[in-house]
Amino acid sequence: MARQAMTLIGGGPVGALLAQLLAKRGFAVTVFEKRSDPRRIGFKRGRTINLAIAERGLQALRTAGLAERALQKSVMMRGRMVHPLGGEAGLQRYGVDDSEVIWSISRSGLNALLVDAAEEAGATFHFGQTLVSADIDEQCLSLIDREDVQRDYGAGLLIGADGAGSALRAAMDLYQPLGIRVEPLGHGYKELEIPPAADHRRFAIEPHALHIWPRGGYMSIATPNIAGSFNVTLFLPLHGPHPSFDTLRDAATASAFFGRDFPDLAPLMPRFADDYDGHPVGKLATLYLDRWHIDGRAVLVGDAAHAIAPFHGQGMNCGFEDTVVLAELLAGCGRDTAGAFAKFQQIRKPNADAIAAMTLENYVEMRDSVADPRYLAKLELSTRMTQWSPEYFMSRYRMVTFTLLPYAYAYERGRVQNQVLEQLLRDFPRAGDVPQDVAMSALQAALPPLPSLL
């Protein structure tokens, strides 16, 4: 019997990983990607240069047999190194020890690895091919190449992995409205860089951390690259009073602001002016869809279905979880692809909605709370509760980042745990004063034990 044909639009991290998983399961996979081959050109400067991989992403890479190769290209990050204005920087660990860490990897390096692996599994990639429109009834694509030559392509099943601005999504929505809702955050980002220290091999600051300079309504972060540099991202409101991208239009105004608001960061960026003036301002938004598929003909995955802001470092991790679920459903559905796509949406959409909500909450936490005494008291009490009763208490951040518990479960359990913490800190203003037995009875009255994580 002929192998069933699957056509993917987009060979970014999610598309390339899905291509590998589907090809391994015997599907005839073709990928159209608008950019050039990432193995030959690298990525344009000014796009996010690296990404944090957490447990969900790692688990998907394990399924693909690629986790070790990805980890070899990554730098471990143990926690947030918080740089308060005028104070000492301090590490807030993400997990209990070094078994709970996240990994910083170059986007282009990861993408190249995934494309290689997908080709090894039998998928075919066509680079420099942009989808311009799609006839969903006929399952026919219209693509344009670098020389502006347009061609039509008779596709099999259509899978849109073409990111937040998905062209396949637009074509599907024209055919049958998907209920698209885009909620702009009103904030944007700009990418800068800390080069390696003078001898070109050492990191200029602690490498095994995600650095944060929280400043209330805005912040900078820095993540390490294996070559010794750091990718710095400035997050600011797009418009409005100072500071915003409106009031910091160029390097001349921004460098005075950096000198004042990020005095320990500014001197680490000798190419600040070129980077600031040369890199675009990225806009952040959350994308929600009521429907992710059109019967058994077309489906969306990753950012094309559920783009989120980057404040939990979970966008790609969530997209990677999608790929494993979708590949399994397609492999097990026979010819009932409509059933597989419907099940995929049923399983993944509540989880995508939950991580979108937690991401927005995490932004407030990162830019405002990490230096706030009340937040720090909650953090201290959370650490105590984890030690007292790991079967009942796990911080939401750990559930999201270091387990495979569904995002929707982590969201709901985190909400109840937070209520318990708040109540205890109302009764005992200092975390150190909360008696263990009182804390444990409050927790056990509110929640069942955590499910087994094995």
- Which one of the spans 29-37, 69-77, 92-100, 404-412 is the region binding ligand FAD (CB under 6 A)? 29-37
Binding range to ligand FAD, per CB under 6 A, among 45-53, 245-253, 272-280, 401-409: 45-53
Are 193 and 229 in contact, with CB atoms under 8 Å apart? Answer: yes
Q: Which is nearer to ligand FAD, 231 or 395 (CB)?
A: 231
Of 24, 1, 20, the C-alpha closest to 11 is 20
Binding ligand FAD by CB under 6 A: which of 14, 118, 178, 265? 14
Contact flag: residue 12 with ligand FAD (CB under 6 A): yes
Cis peptide before 243 (omega within 30 of 0): yes
Q: Which is nearer to ligand FAD, 166 or 244 (CB)?
A: 166
CA atoms within 13 A on the CB side of 336: 8
Which of 310, 352, 392, 414 touches ligand FAD (CB under 6 A)? Answer: 310
Q: How far is CA 290 from CA 181, 287, 296, in A?
A: 9, 10, 16
Phi-psi region of 174 (alpha: psi -120 to 50; beta: other; left: phi over 0): alpha
Closer Cβ to ligand FAD, 34 or 378, answer by number: 34
Per CB under 6 A, the list member of 27, 32, 262, 397 interacting with ligand FAD is 32
8 A C-beta contact, residue 245 and residue 254 = no
Number of residues in contact with ligand FAD under rule CB under 6 A: 33
- Rounded Cα distance between 436 and 445, Å, is 14
Element (H, E) at 238: none
Strand partners, 210: 80
Binder of ligand FAD out of 20, 220, 244, 317 (CB under 6 A): 317
Nearer to ligand FAD, 27 or 320 (CB): 320
> Of 48, 21, 176, whose CA–CA distance to 107 is shortest?
48
Residue 106 or 395 with smaller CB distance to ligand FAD: 106
CB of 449 to ligand FAD, least distance (A): 29
* Interacting residue with ligand FAD among 25, 35, 126, 343 (CB under 6 A): 35
By CB under 6 A, name the one of 319, 337, 345, 413 that touches ligand FAD: 319
302 binds ligand FAD (CB under 6 A): yes
Per CB under 6 A, the list member of 48, 59, 92, 383 interacting with ligand FAD is 48
Alpha-carbon gap, residue 6 to 191, rounded angstroms: 36
Cβ-contact 331, 344 below 8 angstroms? no
Residue whose CB is nearest to ligand FAD in the complex, by number:
12
d(CA 234, CA 219): 6
Q: Choose, by CB under 6 A, the member of 7, 229, 233, 359 that binds ligand FAD.
A: 233
Q: Does 101 bind ligand FAD (CB under 6 A)?
A: no
The number of angstroms, rounded, from the C-alpha of 10 to the middle of its chain's C-alpha atoms is: 17
For ligand FAD, which stretch binds (CB under 6 A), given 31-39, 68-76, 213-221, 328-336?
Answer: 31-39
Alpha-carbon gap, residue 154 to 134, rounded angstroms: 10
Backbone angles phi, psi at 432, to 5 degrees: -65, -15
Name the segment binding ligand FAD (CB under 6 A); options: 83-91, 157-165, 377-385, 391-399: 157-165
- β partners of residue 135: 140
The site for ligand FAD (CB under 6 A) is made up of 9-15, 32-35, 48, 51-52, 130-131, 161-163, 167, 189, 233, 282, 302-304, 310, 313-317, 319
